[in-house]
Structure 1
Amino acid sequence: MTITQLHYVLAVAEHKNFTKAAQKVFVTQPTLSMQIQKLEEELEVTIFDRSKKPIQLTEVGEKIVQQARNIVNESDRIQDIVDQQKGFIGGVFRLGVIPTVMPTLLPMFIGHFMKKYPKVKLKIEELHTEAILEKLKEGHLDAAIAATPLKIEGIKENALYYEPFVAYIPENHPLSGMGKLEVNDLDINELLLLEDGHCFKDGIINLCKASREYDEDQLQLESGSFETLVKLANEGLGMTLLPYLHTLDLHESEKKNLKMFKDPVPAREVSLIYNRSELKMQIIEAIRSTIAGVVKGAITFQNVQIISPLKRQKELSH
C-alpha cells in the first residue's frame, strides 16, 4: 500500500463520493477508484460499501480510516522535521477561530504575523467549537483558537489569554446605578444571549448557574452577534454580557453603560488548541508568541475566575 492510496481513502471517507473525493485530491475519478480498488484487493477486504448512497464505510473500513489518519499524520511529520531542522516557518496552515473571538483578536495579530512570517499561507475559518473539534480530529485544521478548558482526549490546550466578562447595562435598567457587579446580581432570565451554538452563551449560563436557576423557556431573545445584543439592550429590552475585547470597539456613548465585576473577575480562557501529534509546531509557536505579544497590552487583568465553556459546568479557579 502507499501513502497516496491512504490519502484517497481519507478523501472518500470525508466526502462519501468518489467524484468529489477525486476533485479534492486533484486526480481523475477513475484513477482514484482504481487505486482504492487495488488497496482493497491487496488487503482482501472491502473498505467502502458502494451500494449505499451516499457511500458508507464498512465496519473494517472504519478501522482502516482511523489508522490511515495516523499514518498520513506521521508521514507529514517527516516534512515537519526537515522544516524545523532548517528553521523554516512557512507553508499552508489551516486555523479555525470561534465567532466570538474572530472579529476582535484577528485584526489585532494578523498583520503582525503576516509581516513577520511572510512564507506562512494562513487559511482561516470561522467555526463553532463543535465543528472545530471535528475538523481537528479529521486533520482538516492544523490548530484553532477557542474558549477552553474543553478536556478533549488527544487535543492540547495552550492558554493565550484570560478575557473578562463585562456587563452592558443601559441607563434605564435597574442595575445601572450600581458600582462594580457581583455574579449574584445577575438574573439569567433577564439577560440577552447569543443563539445556541456559541460557547460564550454556555459560559454565561455556567456563570449564573451557581446563583440562580434559569428557565430555558424564557431564553427567547437571542442573536448571532454582540453588536445586535448591544442594540437590543439600547432599546430597553434588557442587559447583556460581552467579552472584554468586544467592549474596546464600542462607541464612547455606549462605553458609559459598561460595568466590571468585583474580583475575582469572571473570565473566559482563550487557547490555541491542536492535536497531540504536534505537527507544524514551529508555526503554532509563532502564532502563540505573536498573539501573546499583542494581547498583553490590551488585557491586564490578573485576579480572574475562569468560567468553563462546557455546557452546565461550574467555574474553575485560576
Structure 2
Amino acid sequence: MTITQLYYVLAVAENQNFTKAAEKCFVTQPTLSMQIQKLEEELSIQIFDRSKKPIELTDVGKKIVTQARNIVNESYRIQDIVDQQKGFIGGEFKIGIIPTIMPTLLPMFLKNFIKKHPKVKLKIEELTTEEIISRIKDGHLDAAIAATPLQDDSIKERVLYFEPFVSYIPKSHRLHSNKKIDVADLDISDMLLLEDGHCFRDGVINLCKAFKNQSDEHFQLESGSIETLIRLSNEGLGMTLLPYLHTLEINEKEKENLHFFNDPAPAREVSLIYHKSELKMQIIEALQDVISGVIRGAIAFQNVKIISPLPQKR
C-alpha cells in the first residue's frame, strides 16, 4: 500500500470517473487503474463498484476513502513541518469567501498580501457558508473568510473583525427622520432581504426575531446582491440593512440614507476559518496578519452585539 495509491483512490472517489481522475493526477488512465487494482488485490476487497455509471464507492470503499483522506493529509504535514522550520511561506492556498464579504474585503488586502508573500499562490472562490463548510471538511479548501460563530467542532475560527450593521433608509420611509435606530424599531415586513442561502440574511432575520415574532410570509422582496437591495430601497420599496464596509463604497447622495444603530450596535463577527487538522498554518497566520492590519483603519467600532449568522430553527 502506498500514499500514491491512496491519492489515486481519492481522485476517483471525487471525480467518479477513472479518466477524469487520471487527468487530475497527471498520469495515464491505465497507470491509475493498475495502481488502484493492486491496492484492491492487496486488501482483497473492491473499493469501487465499476458496474455503476458514474462509478460509486462500495460500502467498505466509503470507509477506506475516509481513512485515506486522513493518511494523505498527514503525509502532507511532513512537508508543512519542513516549510515552517525553514520559515517558508509559499505554495498553493485555496480560500473561500462568502458573497457579502468578498467585494469589500478582498480589494482591501489582496494586493498587500501578494506583495508581502509573492510565493503564495492564492486560489480564491466566492462561496456560500454552507458550501465553504462542506469543502473545508472534504479538504477542497484550506481556509475561508465567513461570518461566525458557526458552532462546528471540526472547524477553528480566528476572529478578524466585528462589522456593524447599518440601516439604509430612503426618505419616504417612516424611520428616515430618526438620527439613530433602535433594533426594536425594525419591522421585517418592510425590510428588503438577500435571497435564501446568504448568512447575512439569516443574521438580519435573527436580529428582527429577537424582538418581534414574525415569519417569512411577510417578506416583500428578496435579491441576490446588496447593490440591488440599495437600488430597490431607493425606489421606495422598503429599507434594508448593510454590512458597514459596503457603506464606504456608496455615493454621497446615498450616504444621506445611512442610519447607525444606538449602542450596542448589532454586528457580525468575521473570521478566518479552517479545519482543526489544517496544515499550512504559516499561510493562515500571514493572512490573519495582513487582513487585521488593513481592517484596523476601516472599522473603529467597539460597542457591538454579535448577531448569529446561523439560520434559527422554527
So what's the TM-score if we normalise by structure 2? 0.98
CA offset at residue 188 of structure 1? 1.2
In structure 2, what is the equivalent of residue 53 of structure 1?
53
> What per-residue deviation string (whole Å, max 9, x for no partner) do you get for residues 12-63 of structure 1?
1111111211111111222111111111111111111111222111111111
Give me the whole-angstrom Cα distance separating, in 2, the residues matched to 1:281 and 1:100: 25
Give the aligned partner of residue 140 of structure 2. 140
Secondary structure of the 1:283 match is helix
Q: How many correspondences in the alignment?
A: 314
Is residue 2:19 matched to residue 1:19? yes
Show the counterpart of 1:122: 122
Distance 1:133 1:278 in 2: 13
Residue matched to 2:297: 297
Q: Helix, strand or coil for the counterpart of 1:213? A: coil
Aligned AA for 1:57?
L
1:190 Cα deviation from its structure 2 partner: 1.3
Q: Which amino acid aligns with 2:136?
A: L
Secondary structure of the corresponding residue to residue 45 of structure 2 = coil
Q: Which moved more, 1:56-65 or 1:247-256?
A: 56-65
Alignment correspondent of 1:271: 271
SS in 1 for 2:96: strand
Q: Match of 1:53, as an amino acid?
A: K
- Tell me the distance in 2 between the aligned counterparts of 1:289 and 1:61: 41
Q: CA deviation at 1:197?
A: 0.8
| 8 A contact 2:191–2:220 mirrored in 1 | no
Cα RMSD over matched residues? 1.2
> Hey, what's the Cα distance between the residues in 1 that align with 2:221 and 2:186?
17
SS at match of 2:170: coil
Give the Å deviation of 1:153: 2.3
29-38 vs 221-230, greater mean Cα deviation:
29-38
1:209-288 to 2 correspondences below 5 Å: 209-288=209-288
The sequence identity of aligned pairs, in percent, is 72
**2:164–2:267 contact (8 Å) kept in structure 1:** yes
For residue 285 of structure 1, report the CA deviation from its aligned partner.
Answer: 0.1
After TM superposition, the structure 1 = structure 2 runs for residues 26-45 of structure 1, keeping only pairs within 5 Å, are 26-45=26-45
Equivalent position amino acid for 1:25 in 2:
C
Q: State how far apart, in whole Å, the 2-side matches of 1:215 and 1:84 are.
A: 51
Superposed displacement of residue 156, structure 1: 0.3
Q: Deviations over 1:190-239 (max 9, x none)?
A: 11001111110011111111111223123241111110000000001001
Distance between the aligned counterparts of 2:220 and 2:25, measured in 1?
45
**Amino acid corresponding to residue 154 of structure 1 in structure 2:** S
Instruction: Specify the alignment match of 1:178 in structure 2.
Output: 178
Given residue 223 of structure 2, which amino acid in structure 1 is its aligned partner? S
CA distance in 2, matches of 1:119, 1:97: 21
Measure, in 1, the Cα distance between the counterparts of 2:206 and 2:97.
22
Q: 2:85: which partner in 1?
A: 85
Q: Secondary structure, in 3 states, of the residue corresponding to 1:286?
A: helix
TM-score of the aligned structures, taking structure 1 as reference length = 0.97
CA–CA distance in 1 between the matches of 2:2 and 2:119?
30
* Displacement over 2 Å in runs of 4+: 217-220
State how far apart, in whole Å, the 2-side matches of 1:275 and 1:179 are. 43
C-alpha distance in 2, partners of 1:193/1:106? 23
SS in 2 for 1:297: coil
Unaligned runs of 5+ in 1: 314-318
Tell me how far apart the structure 2 counterparts of residues 132 and 24 of structure 1 sit (CA, whole Å).
22
| In 1: Cα distance, 2:12 partner to 2:163 partner | 41
Of the structure 1 ranges 212-221 and 10-19, higher mean CA displacement relative to structure 2 is found in 212-221
The answer for unaligned runs of 5 or more in structure 2 is none
Q: Secondary structure at the match of 1:75?
A: helix
Is 2:99 the partner of 1:99?
yes
**C-alpha distance after superposition, 1:47-102 (max 9, x if no partner):** 11111222111111111111111111110000000001111101111111111100
Letter in 1 for 2:18: F
Post-superposition Cα deviations, 1:115-134, rounded to whole Å, max 9, x if no partner, equal 01011111101111111111
Alignment of 1:5-16 (within 5 A): 5-16=5-16
Answering whether residue 160 of structure 2 is matched by residue 160 of structure 1, we say yes
The superposition leaves residues 173-198 of structure 1 with CA deviations (integer Å, 9 ceiling, x where unpaired) of 00101121111111112110011111
1:169 aligns with 2:153: no
The one-letter code matched in structure 2 to 1:149 is P
